[in-house]
Structure 1
Amino acid sequence: MSSVRCIFFTRPPVKQIIPKDVIMSTIRSSFVFTLSFVLTLSLLTLPTPAADKPVKVYILSGQSNMVGIGQVTGGGSRWGSEFSNPILSVYSGKYDSNTDYDKIEPMNTVQLEVFGGNKPSPYPGGGTQIVRGFIQIKTTGVYEFRPGYGESTHNMMEVDGQEVYRREPGKDAVHKHIKLVEGKKVPFKITYFTDHANGLGWIARVDIPGTLETVVKQDGKFPYLVDKPGNWIARDDVWYKGVVTATANKSLSIGCGASNNNIGPELGFGHIVGDHHDEPVLILKASQGNRSLGWDYLPPDSERFEHEGYIYAGYKDSPARWEIGTKPEPINWYAGKQYDDCFTATHDVLNNFDKEFPHWKSRGYEIAGFVWWQGHKDGGEPYARRYEQNLVHFIKTLRKGFDTPNAPFVIATIGFDGWNMEGPHKKVAEAQLAVSGDRGKYPEFKGNVLSVETRDFWREPDVSPKNQGFHYNQNAETYMLVGEALGNGMIQLLKANR
């Protein structure tokens, strides 16, 4: 058989030419898709903007020093006995700033029998009224004068030849402080700009050692508390609300203590944590003076105990103690009532968050930490020796009650008498230090409980507004330093748990 050879011819591939504009369009589309994908992925992984994050809530509690007894100013008092020989002169016509009234004769001159106090002096009116006399201060210091009441505040006052006050109609008052020496008699003059005039007025010493006014505006400490003109700053990113006592409800500033003229540790603390967070901060303070942890703040599930022939109350028992073998006779208080009062009020605020804080409506909140400053009332036995175990139980119970099992918890020790502290109060301070997580005694508190030492912040009475040791002599610097220490301690815990 003959073989047949087959030859196959294949068509060479045709080279396809793609137009350049199609290629570029495809590249652009691919680039846009890739870029969009990358951007979308990036946005998904970016942190939530601070404006959308929950409000950071710090719950502060304790007794009177947490309430806040640090003085802002020395206050003011109605003047009266400091003045002598007040003579009123009435000049013709309305007040004229171009007239030198010291060089012209008055129409009428009256020796005032009453000047200052609570009763207005009977000024005759009928022209420009100017009162002259002398003032003699009992204590050397720097003073601010506030002459007049209501409409009579439109005047100018001079002391020892210096203008110390001026308020023209329609304008704000301008004060200039003046230093006066104890016992030295100097002249004063008050020129009234309107027909409204009387002898009422107030005087305030503004350099009282240890007031916030002196510490900040004269000693130059804590400069972040004032603006350039020297006005107290109110933070728009930190809100304060107090329950039970110290019930201010406003942007954090002075006046969040026991009165408008007091501060507690919330001021220094609030500035520290406010600077740390991008989110807004709520300082929620629940405090009451003259309260012990062993009786008033005794947390739920605390048990009775015996000591020297007495049974001491457990949670909800009344009275505080009774003899072994006898039946307790209840009083109108029970163990733990202050705990219940303070933290029920705290829960009420948080349960109505949108209503309480409409400026944060629908934003929500997150409990960021707890702060505790207390201990003076436990400075006796048997509460001093039980303070440590009570505090451990308090921390655990409070966290459980707010469903925050590991929330940062910062404690300030008591610091009465500084490093000279002794006796049961020293035992309380040592107990407060013992629970700190960095001491190692309570492993479950490591990294989430911190005690800060405050004995360095004690200031003696001679550099303080008052001689009142159990209130740290009302020294505002002490309260600020305690607040800052608590704030820095809180930040330390927050950073450790990132």
Structure 2
Amino acid sequence: MTGLKTRLAMMVALLTVFTASLKTFADSPAEQPAQGPLKVFILAGQSNMVGAGVVPLDPNRNDGRGSLEAMVKDPKMAARTKHLVATDGHWAVRDDVWIWYFDRKGKLTTGYGSRDTMIGPEFGFGHTVGEALNEQVLLIKIAWGGKSLAVDFRPPSSGGEVGPYYTQLMQHVREVLGDIQSHFPQYDGRGYELAGFGWHQGWNDRINQAHNDAYEENMSNFIRDVRKELKAPELPFVIAETGMSGHEEKHPRALSLMRAQAAVAERDEFQGNVAFVGTKDFYRPKDQSPSGQAYHWNNNAETYYLIGDAMGAAMLDLMQDADE
């Protein structure tokens, strides 16, 4: 009996040591790194940041061509888009990426475009950065249709009257960041880091010659002013080209505005912290799309997804450069 008690005591002691070892191993920073602060990305612009990419495959809209549903069913896109669909066949809902878009907020999935049946660049962007980052991600999307940089988003450094939508943009960012908990009850108070700013806009400036001519300077002022107001002097910025009509675009103002967007990222002061994303390759013609609405990328969801994905990849590159 005594021998049995001794063996039992030894077993308990060994189990205690083993349990303690497991806890030490689990708590080891090398094996279980502590998650850092919330990574916050601001996505802003006009109607093509709002987003008009059609999600459902509607036979009445060009037999469903160009819809998000058709894209994920395309064998050529299957490997690239498999993470967009959950195992039950529904659209994936990302626990690790939250989105705030005015009265809509929650976990990233489809339906954060101009309607709940549409997507914008936030969809591809959120999936791309969410796949790459270990930290929780928050997208703050602030966009309105039909807005110019020269007037509506006019930054303070450009002189004249500050654009009312520039002011609203700053107000919305501060409001969300000032009370994250009320918008996202899952937030555990670990703090946040402004990680990047994505911009997709241009139509309302390219249709006005004076606005077009001032675009490069206004965009540069916008970047500087946003960084100053948000107290983030090196905030990575990604500018997505307003490349509607693709490589077939011939209008002088359209070509001039796209050159201006690219030129901003080429300025010495913005090397390594501002990126330009060409989008003309993502254009899909009317016969491959739900509509012929050229200024909204023909409502092609593949286009909007690829724009967001490219913006996300460019953002990750800027973030990596900043860390090196």
Which category of TM-score, normalised to the shorter sequence, fits these structures? Answer: 0.7 to 0.9
Q: String of CA shifts for 1:249-268, please: whole Å, max 9, x gaps.
A: 11111001111100000111
**Corresponding residue of 2:16:** none
**Identical-residue share of aligned pairs (%):** 41
1:63–1:373 Cα contact (<8 Å) kept = yes
Q: 1:337-416 to 2 correspondence within 5 Å?
A: 337-379=164-206, 380-416=208-244
1:315 aligns with one of 149, 161, 164: 161
The reply on whether 1:490 has 2:315 as its aligned counterpart is yes
Q: String of CA shifts for 1:436-479, please: whole Å, max 9, x gaps.
A: 1xx3xx22211110001001111111110011010000000100
Residue 354 of structure 1: how far off its partner (Å)? 2.2
Amino acid corresponding to residue 448 of structure 1 in structure 2: N
What is the DSSP-based 3-state SS (H/G/I as helix, E as strand, rest coil) of the residue aligned with 2:156?
Answer: coil
- Provide the C-alpha distance between the structure 1 equivalents of 2:62 and 2:256, rounded to a whole number of angstroms: 38
The reply on whether 1:478 has 2:313 as its aligned counterpart is no
- Provide the C-alpha distance between the structure 2 equivalents of 1:206 and 1:428, rounded to a whole number of angstroms: 31
TM-score with structure 2 length normalisation? 0.86
Amino acid corresponding to residue 232 of structure 1 in structure 2: W
* Residue ranges of structure 2 left out of the alignment (5+ in a row): 1-23
The reply on whether 1:265 has 2:121 as its aligned counterpart is yes
Question: Which has more helix, going by share of residues?
Answer: 2
Q: 1:101-250 to 2 correspondence within 5 Å?
A: 207-219=63-75, 221=77, 222-243=81-102, 247-250=103-106
Q: How many residues align?
A: 295
Residue 420 of structure 1: how far off its partner (Å)? 1.9
- Provide the C-alpha distance between the structure 2 equivalents of 1:280 and 1:264, rounded to a whole number of angstroms: 21
- Provide the C-alpha distance between the structure 2 equivalents of 1:207 and 1:474, rounded to a whole number of angstroms: 14
Taking a change above 3 Å as real, the CA distance of residues 472 and 402 of structure 1, as seen in their structure-2 partners, is: same
Q: String of CA shifts for 1:97-130, please: whole Å, max 9, x gaps.
A: xxxxxxxxxxxxxxxxxxxxxxxxxxxxxxxxxx
2:57–2:70 Cα contact (<8 Å) kept = no
Residue 213 of structure 1: how far off its partner (Å)? 1.1
Amino acid corresponding to residue 227 of structure 1 in structure 2: A
Taking a change above 3 Å as real, the CA distance of residues 294 and 205 of structure 1, as seen in their structure-2 partners, is: closer
Residue 490 of structure 1: how far off its partner (Å)? 0.5
Q: String of CA shifts for 1:344-400, please: whole Å, max 9, x gaps.
A: 112111111222222113211111000000001101210001100000000000111
Amino acid corresponding to residue 401 of structure 1 in structure 2: E
Question: Which has more strand, going by share of residues?
Answer: 1
- Provide the C-alpha distance between the structure 2 equivalents of 1:50 and 1:372, rounded to a whole number of angstroms: 31
State the Cα RMSD in Å.
Answer: 2.3
Residue 218 of structure 1: how far off its partner (Å)? 4.3
* Residue ranges of structure 1 left out of the alignment (5+ in a row): 1-38, 76-140, 142-203, 304-313, 317-335
**Corresponding residue of 2:13:** none
- Provide the C-alpha distance between the structure 2 equivalents of 1:396 and 1:377, rounded to a whole number of angstroms: 21
2:258 aligns with one of 429, 435, 441: 429
What is the DSSP-based 3-state SS (H/G/I as helix, E as strand, rest coil) of the residue aligned with 2:276?
Answer: strand
Taking a change above 3 Å as real, the CA distance of residues 298 and 265 of structure 1, as seen in their structure-2 partners, is: same
1:301–1:315 Cα contact (<8 Å) kept = no
Residue 300 of structure 1: how far off its partner (Å)? 1.6
The reply on whether 1:49 has 2:24 as its aligned counterpart is no
**Corresponding residue of 1:25:** none
Amino acid corresponding to residue 68 of structure 2 in structure 1: L
Which structure is richer in relative contact order (CA contacts within 8 A, separation 6 or more)?
2
2:61–2:291 Cα contact (<8 Å) kept = no
2:105–2:183 Cα contact (<8 Å) kept = no
- Provide the C-alpha distance between the structure 1 equivalents of 2:258 and 2:32, rounded to a whole number of angstroms: 41
Amino acid corresponding to residue 467 of structure 1 in structure 2: G
**Corresponding residue of 2:142:** 286
Residue 229 of structure 1: how far off its partner (Å)? 4.0
TM-score with structure 1 length normalisation? 0.56
Residue 50 of structure 1: how far off its partner (Å)? 3.7
**Corresponding residue of 1:27:** none
What is the DSSP-based 3-state SS (H/G/I as helix, E as strand, rest coil) of the residue aligned with 1:360?
Answer: coil
Q: String of CA shifts for 1:50-71, please: whole Å, max 9, x gaps.
A: 43x2100000000001001100
What is the DSSP-based 3-state SS (H/G/I as helix, E as strand, rest coil) of the residue aligned with 1:407?
Answer: coil
Residue 46 of structure 1: how far off its partner (Å)? 6.0
Please identify the structure whose Cα radius of gyration is greater. 1
1:468–1:474 Cα contact (<8 Å) kept = yes
Amino acid corresponding to residue 292 of structure 1 in structure 2: S
What is the DSSP-based 3-state SS (H/G/I as helix, E as strand, rest coil) of the residue aligned with 1:65?
Answer: helix
What is the DSSP-based 3-state SS (H/G/I as helix, E as strand, rest coil) of the residue aligned with 1:383?
Answer: helix
Residue 411 of structure 1: how far off its partner (Å)? 0.7
**Corresponding residue of 1:158:** none
Amino acid corresponding to residue 148 of structure 2 in structure 1: S
